[in-house]
Amino acid sequence: MRREPLQITTSGTPLTQVEADVLAVLVVEPGRLTPAGAALDASLDGRLAHLLADGELKATTGSVGLVHTRGELGAHRIAAVGVGSEDAIDADALRTAAARVAARIGEIGGGTIAWVIGDGLALPLVEQGRAVVDGTVLATYDPGAWKTHGERRAPLTQLILCGPEAASVAEEAEWAGVVADWTNRCRDLVDMPANELTPTRLAETAAEIAASVPHLRCEILGPEEIRGAGMGALAAVAQGSATEPRLIVLEYDPPGARDDLRLGLVGKAITFDTGGISLKPSARMEEMKSDMAGGAAVVTGIAAIAALGLPIRAIAVVPATENMPGGRAYRPGDILTALNGKTIEITNTDAEGRLVLADALVDARRRGATHIVDLATLTGAVVIALGDFYAGLMGNDEGWLGEIEAAAAASGDHAWRLPLHETYARYIKSIYADMKNSSDLRQAGSIYAARFLQEFAGEGPWAHLDIAGTGYLERSRGDYYTAKGATGYGVRLLAALAERLVR
Ligand code: BES
Ligand code: MN
Ligand code: ZN
């Protein structure tokens, strides 16, 4: 569902004169204001200090107290928002605080939020600005687009970052707003049910996005072209479904980009994963509409990179299909030939993500990707290992993995390394073919999958992000800038990665 983007500005106006529906200040442990809030409270006869003393305003991360001004300030209200202990304030805490304020103001009825940044915090000003923008924009996401009645939240119209130095981060704040907006568009796609978001519809969306952003080009392959090109793994997964597969390719080729580097983005887009003949249990199977979260992140991530006009060449390859059982479905025991000629014995049709990615990785290399990162809701095992906050990160190149880790940390799309030692190569051995797609060893399932992908990643640097736990939440994380459902994981990471590479 499309929203008007939030207007993001900066202002050096004295805080007492800032005009807004609400001006947000921080409450830190043990229940005290930061310097900006304390200075404002002087104009409010110390009412904030009284409320703190009475325990009505709290430092607990995300707690919000609203206090009306009586014409003493330009702002109509103060939001005093808890962020925990001052020396532990990081971007995650600020995102949560900003999201809480945005949600409260949304309930009241929209308008303008002013946020004080700077204010003696150790966190660099630019990171404060980005976190406040992220938290505010992500909090406006509404998953209830299919409700025919019930209240629509009144939209926020403007976010003003305030403080003497705020203007120095104006450009970064505006960029963060663009990226957060694409993150919400990613969430739209991931939350969309599989009867609406078919591979065809995803391809159409990618084409529309390409037409709306400069220097972005879209190419779509249908079933005959997929089969004809030799993508036997993607074709096999797709053959059980009545809806056609698509291979979606987006190329971003801006003028002035260096030509020794072409970023390759590969994303798994299983629009619904039933498991196929190796059928999944029915409990919570509806969540498998989100098995295209990697593909959605890649489509909207390259769009964000292009919308920012970053001077970097990039190519996105997204294999999109359903994984269904049926009379035409691929079977356990089948042996497939992938695009690079390698053969795969199928031992579990539910290990389909690695199959569609195999062909897409080879295709991305052939199209000239020098540095590849793939995103995929690939294994339940990564949810067991890392839960819902860190994606699993594996790859073949230390330097490249370092870049991904840095982008992950900077963006708030967190990632944690898992080892990819050569000894794991024995896991994927098959008696009949070059490899098999799963094993009955209940060991290191996420590493197994990554080691399988490595067979198709080609020569250059490649990194794999297993986002099964982070792309779509089974339940809220309590951080307020995400909720149960789609998170848009990867969009902010990919934009941060591209920014690092052009710096
Ligand atoms: N899409 C699933 C992985 C998944 C699980 C994503 C839970 C999000 C939440 C993937 O295709 C899958 O089914 N993986 C299997 C692999 C197994 C058969 C080797 C799994 O993890 O159980
Ligand atoms: Mn599966
Ligand atoms: Zn899957």
What is the per-residue pLDDT across 415-466, written as a single tens digit (0 to 9) for each? 999 999 999 999 999 999 999 999 999 999 999 999 999 999 999 999 999 9
Mutate to test the pocket of ligand 1, among 349, 379, 428 (most ligand atoms within 8 A of CB): 379
**Residue closest by Cα to atom 3 of ligand 1:** 379
Q: Quick one: what percent of the chain has pLDDT higher than 70?
A: 99
Q: Is 347 in the pocket of ligand 1 (CB under 6 A)?
A: no
Q: Is 44 in the pocket of ligand 1 (CB under 6 A)?
A: no
Kindly give the distance from the C-alpha atom of residue 148 to the centroid of ligand 1, in angstroms, as a whole number.
33
Q: Is 468 in the pocket of ligand 1 (CB under 6 A)?
A: yes
Kindly report whether the global pTM for this prediction surpasses the value 0.95.
yes
Mutate to test the pocket of ligand 1, among 292, 357, 378, 467 (most ligand atoms within 8 A of CB): 378
Kindly give the distance from the C-alpha atom of residue 420 to the centroid of ligand 3, in angstroms, as a whole number.
21
Kindly give the distance from the C-alpha atom of residue 322 to the centroid of ligand 3, in angstroms, as a whole number.
9
**Ligand closest to CA 270:** 3
pLDDT at residue 109, rounded to an integer: 85
Give whole-number Cα distances, 164 to 10, 11, 39, 169, 287, in Å: 10, 8, 14, 11, 46
**Ligand closest to CA 290:** 1
pLDDT at residue 2, rounded to an integer: 53
pLDDT at residue 150, rounded to an integer: 72
Atom of ligand 1 nearest to the CA of 439: 19
- What residues of the chain score a pLDDT lower than 70? 1-3, 151-154
Q: Cβ neighbours of residue 199 under 8 Å, at least 6 residues apart?
A: 243, 244, 245, 246, 269, 271, 320, 321, 322
Give residue 418's Cα distance to chain centre.
Answer: 20
How many Cα atoms are found within 13 Å in the side-chain-facing hemisphere of 271? 26
d(CA 18, CA 339) in angstroms, rounded, equals 60
Q: Is 470 in the pocket of ligand 1 (CB under 6 A)?
A: no
Kindly give the distance from the C-alpha atom of residue 85 to the centroid of ligand 3, in angstroms, as a whole number.
40
Q: Is 139 in the pocket of ligand 1 (CB under 6 A)?
A: no
**Residue closest by Cα to atom 16 of ligand 1:** 351
| Mean of the per-residue pLDDT values of the chain | 97
Mutate to test the pocket of ligand 1, among 350, 467, 475 (most ligand atoms within 8 A of CB): 350
d(CA 219, CA 396) in angstroms, rounded, equals 29
Q: Is 348 in the pocket of ligand 1 (CB under 6 A)?
A: yes
Radius of gyration of the chain (CA): 24
pLDDT at residue 167, rounded to an integer: 98
Per residue in 98-148, pLDDT (tens digit) is 999 999 998 888 799 999 999 999 999 999 999 999 999 999 999 999 999
Alpha carbon distance, N-terminus to C-terminus of the chain:
34
- 95 neighbors 131 (Cβ within 8 angstroms): yes
Structure tokens, 373: 């990162």
pLDDT at residue 110, rounded to an integer: 75
pLDDT at residue 151, rounded to an integer: 66
Q: Check whether the bond before 325 is cis (ω within 30° of 0).
A: no
d(CA 311, CA 307) in angstroms, rounded, equals 11
Kindly give the distance from the C-alpha atom of residue 452 to the centroid of ligand 1, in angstroms, as a whole number.
14
Helix (H) or strand (E) holding 283: none
d(CA 311, CA 353) in angstroms, rounded, equals 31
Active site residues: 280, 354
